[in-house]
Structure 1
Amino acid sequence: MTMEIVGNGFLARNLRPIADRHTDTAVLAAGVSWAGGTSDDDFARESALLDEVAARCRTTGRRLLFFSTASTGMYGEGGGTGREDSPITPCTPYGAHKFALEQRLKASGADYLILRLGHLVGPGQPPHQLMPSLLRQVLEGAVRVHRGATRDLIDVADVVTVIDCLLERGVRGETVNVASGEAVPVDHIVDHLQERLGLDVEREYRDAGAHHVICTEKLRRLVPETARLGFTPTYYRQVLDAFLDSAGVDRATVPTPS
């Protein structure tokens, strides 16, 4: 018997190598994965899937690992603490949906662990997610940047390391932010991509950005191993470098404008 992984997407694939280690856990790694998503049908399907998996976990006694979000949509547009125990007033449909699912799971009677994720980065991401979308824009020579916007980037391999530790320690009945704790201006992310690829990129600024910091005090307390993952103000650069390497994109492969 192995860990039950519900879903076949980006995160589900990355969790398969540790499936044999956590047979007491079911993982819901399916559903809405786009912070801009607002489809009522998609939200309803994820809600129904959560109910189904939670009912199965209640019967089998398995812990249900559910992935929520630590995005601006959950923690607001600035000024908050970004802590798991802070008052939550989601400011986007996606954030409201994920927060409602958290409450639904807590009331289901199933054993659970809720992880609020930062912006995951790694090979094989869906094209609509942040880094594939941003890289595509950089390669095309024009990027849309929300003025003042920040993003907390975390390598999916580091997320799997954190999850492995949390499950191994039997953590349950908790909500935990899984992020680097570093709010990186999107301008800095574009700067690094430009430098690595040797490109000049035109930036179109929009006044719709949001700055927020994700608190990782609880994560660091539960998983002291995060100290060796390099979560510093420059961590995002190694995340971006690994992403570009995995995508096979560098100065040598970027087409020269004719």
Structure 2
Amino acid sequence: MDIVGNGFLARNLRALSSRHPDTVVLAAGVSWAQGTARADFDREERLLGEVVADCRASGRRLLFFSSASTGVYGKVRGPGREDGPVTPCTPYGAHKIALEERLRASGADHLILRLGHLVGRDQPPHQLLPLLVRQMRAGSVRVHRGAVRDLVHVDDVVEIIDRLLGQGLRAETVNVASGEAVPVEHIVDHLEARLGLSVRREYQDVDAHHIISTEKLRALVPEVTRMGFGPAYFRRVLDSFVDHQLATAPTGVPAPEET
């Protein structure tokens, strides 16, 4: 595969670079769900147009990463499904859905994956877990009461992508997530215990609860069963993240005590 981009997901996908030569992966663009900069959205839209044109000319399939975030599924009643209507409730969600529609209308072979909240080594500092850890180490953390995140480890996502591409899927949209809506408060609880911290919490009320349907994913990739997706999965994902944080703490700076 050819990978367009050099960010967090793109770097992890390099393990598949010798596979799926019929596919171009667009792993670049806006990666911050709180982002609202029109210039960033326009830049991703132009890049998509360029890659779509190349794929049409070469007859290759385009793998496009969309979002299963609150911005996309936050107003859906019940689990967010790929085949149901969505009403984006953030500029980021509206942007991603608009790009999906443009890709479907382009005539290019494609596969759209709506991703949950990816977690892994060396994440960008603006993403949820690095941001939470920085806030917690500073002594306080801002928690949106009612907010949830579907956490999925990037290693599992890479394996799922490999299996989906191997099936030769075309013109499909698939949620890639664990299917568990984890309250952000529970994420903070687990990080606090693992890092040995006691932090002050500043609460803000939001109405942002949503669940991502994984029915289609499980039918296409039954191997996700052995990945342990379920109520306890997020703890394993967080443990992996914290273990890497502790192992890479700067020399001479004591790592936080574990409990």
Q: Same fold (TM over 0.5)?
A: yes
Q: Post-superposition shift, 1:197?
A: 1.3
Aligned partner of 1:55 in structure 2 is 53
* CA distance in structure 1 between the partners assigned to 2:92 and 2:187 by the alignment: 24
* CA distance in structure 2 between the partners assigned to 1:249 and 1:73 by the alignment: 34
Segments of 5+ residues of structure 2 without an aligned counterpart are none
Aligned partner of 1:170 in structure 2 is 168
Aligned partner of 1:67 in structure 2 is 65
* CA distance in structure 2 between the partners assigned to 1:170 and 1:228 by the alignment: 23
Tell me the SS of whatever aligns to 1:20. Answer: coil
Residues 191-210 of structure 1: pairs in structure 2 closer than 5 A: 191-210=189-208
* CA distance in structure 2 between the partners assigned to 1:238 and 1:120 by the alignment: 13
Residues 167-246 of structure 1: pairs in structure 2 closer than 5 A: 167-246=165-244
8 Å contact 2:197–2:256 — kept in the other structure? no
Q: Post-superposition shift, 1:247?
A: 1.8
Tell me the SS of whatever aligns to 1:116. Answer: strand
Q: Post-superposition shift, 1:184?
A: 0.4
* CA distance in structure 1 between the partners assigned to 2:226 and 2:177 by the alignment: 14
**Deviation sequence 1:150-179 (CA, Å, 0-9, x none):** 100000000000000000111121000000
Aligned partner of 1:21 in structure 2 is 19
**Deviation sequence 1:76-116 (CA, Å, 0-9, x none):** 24634301111110000000000000000001110000000
8 Å contact 2:72–2:88 — kept in the other structure? yes
Aligned partner of 1:114 in structure 2 is 112
8 Å contact 1:150–1:212 — kept in the other structure? yes
- Corresponding position: 1:7 with 2:5: yes
Aligned partner of 1:134 in structure 2 is 132
* CA distance in structure 1 between the partners assigned to 2:254 and 2:219 by the alignment: 42
Tell me the SS of whatever aligns to 2:122. Answer: coil
**Deviation sequence 1:33-65 (CA, Å, 0-9, x none):** 000000111101100000000110001111100
- Corresponding position: 1:102 with 2:100: yes
8 Å contact 1:81–1:213 — kept in the other structure? yes
* CA distance in structure 2 between the partners assigned to 1:160 and 1:121 by the alignment: 12
* CA distance in structure 1 between the partners assigned to 2:91 and 2:240 by the alignment: 32
AA matched with 2:62: L
* CA distance in structure 2 between the partners assigned to 1:135 and 1:218 by the alignment: 33
8 Å contact 2:75–2:87 — kept in the other structure? no
Q: Post-superposition shift, 1:71?
A: 0.4
* CA distance in structure 2 between the partners assigned to 1:238 and 1:50 by the alignment: 34
Q: Post-superposition shift, 1:249?
A: 5.9
Task: Using the aligned pairs only, state the percent identity.
Answer: 68
* CA distance in structure 2 between the partners assigned to 1:244 and 1:78 by the alignment: 32
Number of paired residues? Answer: 254
Q: TM-score, normalised by structure 1?
A: 0.95
8 Å contact 2:192–2:199 — kept in the other structure? yes
* CA distance in structure 2 between the partners assigned to 1:197 and 1:56 by the alignment: 47
* CA distance in structure 2 between the partners assigned to 1:27 and 1:97 by the alignment: 19
Q: TM-score, normalised by structure 2?
A: 0.95
* CA distance in structure 1 between the partners assigned to 2:247 and 2:185 by the alignment: 20
